[in-house]
Amino acid sequence: MSAQIHTQDRLLQVIVAPQITEKATRIADKNQQIAFKVRTDATKPEIKAAIELVFKVEVDSVTVINVAGKAKRVGRTMGRRQDWKKAYVSLKPGQEINFAAGE
């Protein structure tokens, strides 16, 4: 595996948004994992480095899921939503990300 150089600009663009849903909340409570929507070309090492850079926490592991876009219809025209990638991030014991701290 080649050593990949991660620039700070690239790492700041990897995380698109946190996923705050019922399923993500259930997984956070049960498995101590946090879900993020990430770029489709992001890799696990990039996601780990980006989370550690942005939130100043230590990441234990990253699991990635490719989510297929839904087929949608408007009148007679069929369309399709864009595919996207979701990352479940496990933090090391004692680490925590608080999204409500900015309020």
When divided into structural domains, the chain yields a total of 1
- This prediction has a pTM of 0.84
Which two structure tokens, joined as six digits, stand for 85? 């990638």
> Would residue 99 count as lying in a domain?
no
Average the pLDDT over 12-26 and give the result. 93
> Would residue 97 count as lying in a domain?
no
pLDDT at residue 2 tops 50 = no
Instruction: Give the tens place of pLDDT for each residue, 39-87.
Output: 999 999 999 999 999 999 999 999 999 999 999 999 999 999 999 999 9
End-to-end CA distance of the chain: 42
Which two structure tokens, joined as six digits, stand for 14? 């990897």
Say which CATH number the domain at 67 has. 3.30.70.330
The dihedrals phi and psi of 76, each to the nearest 5 degrees, come to -90, -15
Predicted confidence band at 7 (pLDDT cuts at 50, 70, 90)?
confident
Could you list the residue range(s) of the whole structural domain that residue 61 is in? 8-92
